[in-house]
Amino acid sequence: MEKNDYSGFGQYNISDKLQLILPKTHIIIEKKENRFSYYRKNSEDQELRKSVPGKKDALQIELAPVLPLNLPSKKTNDLMFLRLKESIFIEKNSTVDILLQFPIEIGVFVLNNDNTRDFFDCFTCEPMHSRFALYGTPENGNLCMYGKVAQLEESEKPEPYVFAKIKATISNQLKEGVSIGKLVFPVGHHEMYYLENTSDAHIDDVAATVKKESSGKIIEIRHVDLSKKDKKWNLSLRLKPKSIKEAYIMSRGFD
């Protein structure tokens, strides 16, 4: 359940001192004589200290969700491995829409006078998210960022500052039902969105098609723009350029 004292996503103007309270994370930004000091501490008592000199009057920052591709290091080709806590059974020749949790990282950005933003810090409110998984064989598999996620009800919110929402439209073209226990796809072309002063975050959706080819049963996964984005949703800043928008084929199993 979301706590009322958690700080919300959005922009903050700091003239004296600001404390940001997030799950397992505490941030203090404070004005000194000719600089601003930045202090962050996580649940494992790991500390980060930074300084922003030359800011005499105020410092403006933005707290926003970002794609989970940066921690502990950038070693994947933007691939995300979602392991479902409950496998999903799709009947033959049918299509379903499901909402899933999607792990996120949190970015801190410094706003400049020309309204541009500079990346300043990145962290996760759940250290267990900073894990890798291999999809495929050790010799030819793909290294992915890994997250174990649950299905959400339409009115249900994911754990604040730990997960965003993602909608998956899954079509089964087979003449038999199929169980899906994982989804693997690139997220480098996806955008991340948030609602101001809340913990609400959403990532672009995916469309998955289960079909049969000569090599066997596969899932083809494509990026889909978030359909419900409007003026209320703020677009998060990307930490790296968009990757090529193309389909991804899961040919090494999906149960």
| pLDDT single digits (tens) 210-223 | 999 887 899 999 99
- 240, part of any domain: yes
As a whole number, mean pLDDT of residues 67-78 equals 80
Q: What's the total number of domains in the chain?
A: 1
Q: Is 231's pLDDT higher than 90?
A: no
Q: Give the closest residue to 149 by CA, choosing from 135, 127, 166, 130.
A: 166
As a whole number, mean pLDDT of residues 63-89 equals 89
- 46, part of any domain: yes
The set of residues, in sequence order, having a beta carbon less than 8 Å from that of 1 and lying 6+ positions away, is: none
The whole-number pLDDT of residue 4 equals: 52
Q: Is 38's pLDDT higher than 70?
A: yes
- 221, part of any domain: yes
Count, in order, helices (H) and strands (E) of the chain: 0, 21
Q: Residue 77's CB: how many other CB atoms inside 10 A? A: 12
The whole-number pLDDT of residue 85 equals: 96
For residues 1 and 63, which has the higher predicted lDDT (pLDDT)?
Answer: 63
Say how far apart CA 250 and CA 245 lie, in whole Å.
16
Q: Give the closest residue to 243 by CA, choosing from 187, 176, 162.
A: 187
Q: What is the pTM of this model?
A: 0.90
For residues 77 and 88, which has the higher predicted lDDT (pLDDT)?
Answer: 88
Report helix, strand and coil shares of the chain as percent, to nearest 5. Answer: 0, 55, 45
- Domain of residue 104, residue span: 10-250
- 197, part of any domain: yes
Q: Is 44's pLDDT higher than 80?
A: no
Say how far apart CA 30 and CA 17 lie, in whole Å.
4
pLDDT band at 201 (very low <50, low <70, confident <90, very high): very high
Q: Is 1's pLDDT higher than 50?
A: no
**Chain-wide mean pLDDT for the chain?**
90
As a whole number, mean pLDDT of residues 46-52 equals 92
- 255, part of any domain: no
| Sign of torsion over alpha carbons 133, 137, 142, 143 | positive
The whole-number pLDDT of residue 3 equals: 43
